[in-house]
Each structure stands twice: as C-alpha cells, then as structure tokens.
Amino acid sequence: MDDLTEYAGTEFSKLLLRTERVDWARFALELAADGQRGLDPAPTLQWIQERHDELLGPVATAWSEYDALRRLTDCLAEQHGLIGDPNASATPDGYYLNRIIETGRGTPIGLAVLYFIVAQTLQIDLQPVASPKRFLTRYESTEGPIFLDPYDRGRLMDIDECLDWLADVGEPAEVRGRLQPAGSRRVALHLLNRLKIAHIQQEDWPAAWRVQQRLFALQPTSYEERRALAILATKAERLPQAVELLRDCLQKAPPSDTPLLSAYLRTAEARLAHCN
C-alpha cells in the first residue's frame, strides 16, 4: 500500500518531496482526472492561456497594484462569471478545475486555486490563505497585504477590512496570525479532504478511495489516514488491499476502534472469499 510509483513524474510527486514549487494547474488537473477518467487537460490549459492573453495588456497598464488585482477580478468574476456557490461543495465539480471553468461555480478553495493559477501566469504573486472563514488569496503590495476573495466575486480587502470581516471568529491579534500564506502541502491537504467529503456524500467510493490514497501518501505515518484508507478500500471493493489495511490497523487501533474495524474486516474477508 506504500507503493508511490504511480505518482512518478506528476506534480503530486513534488508535494511528496515537500517541494513548494508546484504547477497548480497541472496538479489540479491530475486530481480532476482521478474522478473524470480520460480527461483531456488541453482545453483547460488553453482557457488559462487565453485569460493570460486577455489580461496581459490591462494588467501591464494598471495604475497601481490594487488596480491590477481589480482588473484580474473583473475579468474572472464579471466577464467570465466565476463566482462562489453554496451548493458547489456538494459535488466534486466545485473542486475540479475544468468543471469550475465550465460551470462558472466553485467552492472557496477551488476558486482560490483557479485565481492564483491565472495570476501567476501574469507574474502576480497571489498566495493562498486558509482564513478562519474560507480560503482567500493574498497579495503583498508595497502598501501592505491585499486580500482577494474569489468566492465573493473577487472582493478586495486591505488588512483592516479583512479583520473586520472576520471579527466574529476571533480577536484581531489571533485572526491576523491565521492570515499568513499557506504552504503547498496545506493547500493540497485541504483540497483533498474537501474533495473526499464530496465523493463520500455522493457515495462514489472508488473516487473517494483514490483521493484517500493521495491523503495517505502525504501523511504515511498517520493512523487516522490509514484507517480511512482501509474503510474506503472496503467500500470501493478493493478487497485484497482492504484486508491488508484492516489487519494492520487492528494491530495499532485504540480499543474504541476495534469493533468497527473488526466488522469491516469480516465484511472484506467474506466478500473476498466469495470472489475467489
């Protein structure tokens, strides 16, 4: 279960090596291809290139850093209709890069990833931020940080406006510390966890299993991630893997987990015996 050769040469493999320089467009499309077999990445990459071409002139002639960000948000939110939708989190479409572009609707993290992909093609260094309310992006201007909320039609906020917006979730000093840029692994883990929940809600167990494989690969010493992989392997009918994982988990499980894992193991062993 620890064979990572299937990820060789992928953008995901860079995260396994704890590399911060990840091509987020290609990484996001790798995730999308897990749930959309045979997905052609070319149309999405072409769309990103077209937004670069469309924005290059307006951004280059912007009169300030704030104005450059405003032109970016006008293009993506107003001209191309990319906005947040509270229903987007119920399906994987709200996280898949190609589907966000096609439907114009996305989750906070899905839209944040899309925004900083397009921004980076323009040398605008947007950074993801895991704020207490939802994922944002952050730009370090010469006058201080500017926060961009892709979910809310690209709303722009300075630090004081952002702290006011977050006033109901904690004291300013505490909240300020949670507005720092998030590293690549943290963004990937958040995206993967949200995507897994969407697959589970739809009872798409094979897709949830594939996402959980990535989560476990990023956290191979985590009992919780191995346990989740074992359970999803059973639900996804990955029976040999399920039996192996469940037996391993039972050796390390706290007493409170033993009944549940034992029940899954009996189920997996019975199904496997029937198949044989």
- Whether 2 shows a pLDDT value over 70: the answer reads no
pLDDT of residue 120: 93
pLDDT of residue 171: 82
pLDDT of residue 274: 82
DSSP letter at 127? E
Secondary structure E strands in the chain = 83-84, 105-106, 127-130, 135-141, 144-149, 155-158
**Final residue of a structural domain among 150, 177, 204:** 177
**pTM of the full predicted structure?**
0.92
Residues whose CB is less than 8 angstroms from the CB of residue 64 and which lie 6 or more positions away in sequence, other chains included: none
Report CA-CA distances (Å) from 136 to 47, 108, 131, 156.
22, 7, 7, 10
> Is 196 inside any structural domain?
no
Segment among 4-13, 131-140, 180-189 with least mean pLDDT: 4-13
> Is 87 inside any structural domain?
yes
Q: How far apart are CA 232 and CA 169, in angstroms?
A: 34
Same domain, 43 and 103: yes
pLDDT of residue 8: 85
Structural domains counted in the chain: 2
% residues pLDDT > 70 (the chain): 99
pLDDT of residue 3: 62
DSSP letter at 179? T
Residues whose CB is less than 8 angstroms from the CB of residue 80 and which lie 6 or more positions away in sequence, other chains included: 51, 104
CA-closest candidate to residue 39, choices 111, 97, 113: 97
- Whether 276 shows a pLDDT value over 80: the answer reads no
CA-closest candidate to residue 39, choices 113, 102, 118, 91: 102
Same domain, 160 and 244: no
- Order of strands across the sheet that contains 135-141: 127-130, 135-141, 144-149, 155-158
**Final residue of a structural domain among 177, 193, 211:** 177
pLDDT of residue 136: 96
- Whether 34 shows a pLDDT value over 80: the answer reads yes
pLDDT digits (tens, 9 = 90+) for 252-265: 999 999 999 999 99
**Final residue of a structural domain among 156, 177, 198:** 177
Same domain, 11 and 88: yes
Same domain, 21 and 99: yes
Q: Which domain holds residue 263?
A: 221-276
Same domain, 170 and 231: no
> Is 184 inside any structural domain?
no
